[in-house]
Structure formats: C-alpha cells, structure tokens
Amino acid sequence: MGEWAVVTGASEGIGRAYAFALAERGMNVVIMSRTKITLDQVAKEIADKTGQKVKVIVTDFTKENVFGEIKDQLEDLNIGILINNVGMLPNFIPSTFLECADLDQTITKVINCNVKTMAKMCRIILPGMAHRGKGLIVNISSGVACIPFPLYTLYSASKVFVERVSQGLHAEYKDKGVIIQAVAPFGVSTRMACYVHTNIVTPSPEDFVKSSLCYLRAGDKTYGSVCHTLMGWVLQSVPLKLIHAESMLHSLQHYVKKKH
C-alpha cells in the first residue's frame, strides 16, 4: 500500500484515532493540524506506543495558500493512505444562516476547511497513488449530509461536497487500484459533539474508527457502523416536511442548548 499514512485534523477526536489505528497496523504517519503543542504530544504518544515514525505538519486549513508548503513536506514520502478528516462546525448551537456570527468570514473558513482542503489534499496525494496502482483515500463526511439539514446548513452542505467528490473519484480511479471512500458518521464522542457519554449510538472515536476500517471494501460511501447506517436509513425515510417543521427545528435548538 505504502509506507506512510497522512491524517488531517489529527490532534484529537476521529483524526487522532485514525492516526493511532494506522500506526498500530505498521504504518508511519504524518499528522496535521494547527496546534503544535497538541500535535507534538500526539506524535510522542504514537511513537512511544507503536514504534512507528511520526511526522508533524502544523497548518491552519481555514487559511488560504497553505498547500504549497504541505506539498513540499510530503513530496519524498511513499504515501499509501490519506485520511481527510479535518473539518469545522461553524455553529455549535443550531442557528439560521443569517444568525451565524461573522458570517462572511465563516463562509470562507468553512469552504477552505471542509471543501477546499479535501480536494487539494487529493490533488497532492492521488497522483502518486494512481502511478503506483494502489492507495486508499478516506474522506470524512457526516451523517447530516444525507438530507438538507436546516440550522446546520453550511456544515451539512459542505459534507455533501465531500461525498459527491469521493464517489466521483472512486468511479474514476477504482480500476487503477485506488479506493476512495466517504465515511459519514453521525454522533461520535468528540469535542464537536460536546464529548457526550459513549453508547451504541455515540461511540468513542477509537471504537468508531475500528468499526469504519471494517468497511473499506464497502464501496464509495459508508456510515462506518451498523448503528449509524440504520440511523441514516431512518432519517432518509422521514418526510422532509416533518423534519423541516418549525416545531422540530425549535426542538433541535433546545436540545443542543441543553447539551452545552
């Protein structure tokens, strides 16, 4: 497959869990995020636990023009796996489009982090995989991308982009030996989900990643677990008129505010 795995957004949560899981499977890992102190700590933990090499790249994916330097730092590595995990939720509390704080800046950041980064990282790494005739790219989407999702409109729409690009690229490159898959979890106990207690519906990042790795041959999209697959089916079977009802939207806002 290749000696190295690259994981974006690897300082915590799902990205950190992927980095550990791949290192435990014998791969060296490149971990990328914007907080050097946290990345250095994660790198030490991975190296100490697995004995694998860890390369740290500090970058802020919400910014413009970061990919030239990233490409230079990855150029000499034999990369077999890319995990496009980094993403941002612009509003923890569900809110309408115009209620988002610093809306113009938020739009730019969401597009840079959730949309542009995934495409640019594929642009950097996919050519080498296609040339070698093997590779794996996992792009983290979200369960909420399965329907138009009010009050998280920017976030859910950005994750639809992730899914469609993943599905298109998989069709283009599967015969060249490269698997490209969108993974669309619902709740996972991360900072984005306010670290809710883990259960069958909301697994820990480690449990979710362990489960999702079993679905790598499942096609161009997976929810990553049996429970989240069932949740996706249920959500798509509910009439949008009901989900988009004002009473339902108010209930969602109230529920999330209580969690915060």
Task: Tell me the one-letter amino acid at 16.
Answer: R
Per DSSP bridges, beta strands 4-8 and 28-33 are: parallel
Q: What percent of the chain has pLDDT over 90?
A: 85
| pLDDT at res. 190 | 77
Cα–Cα dist 109/116, whole Å: 10
Q: Residue 226 maps to which CATH number?
A: 3.40.50.720
Q: Verify whether residue 155 is a known catalytic residue.
A: yes
Q: Report residue 91's pLDDT band, with 50, 70 and 90 as the boundaries.
A: confident
- List the catalytic residue out of 18, 152, 155, 173: 155
Whether residue 194 is predicted with pLDDT greater than 60 in this model: the reply is no
The β-bridge partners of 183 are 140, 222
Whether residue 95 is predicted with pLDDT greater than 70 in this model: the reply is yes
Contact 172, 165 (CB under 8 A): no
Contact 169, 180 (CB under 8 A): yes
| Residue 69 domain boundaries | 4-259
| pLDDT per position as a tens digit, 110-127 | 999 999 999 999 999 999
Cα–Cα dist 179/220, whole Å: 8
- How far from chain centre, in Å, is Cα 175? 24
Q: Domains in the chain: how many in total?
A: 1
Average pLDDT over residues 69-88: 98
Contact residues for 56 (Cβ-Cβ < 8 A; gap 6+): 30, 31, 32, 36, 39, 40, 43
| pLDDT at res. 235 | 92
| pLDDT at res. 196 | 66
pTM of the model: 0.94
CB atoms under 10 Å from CB of 206, counted, come to 17
Q: Report residue 175's pLDDT band, with 50, 70 and 90 as the boundaries.
A: very high
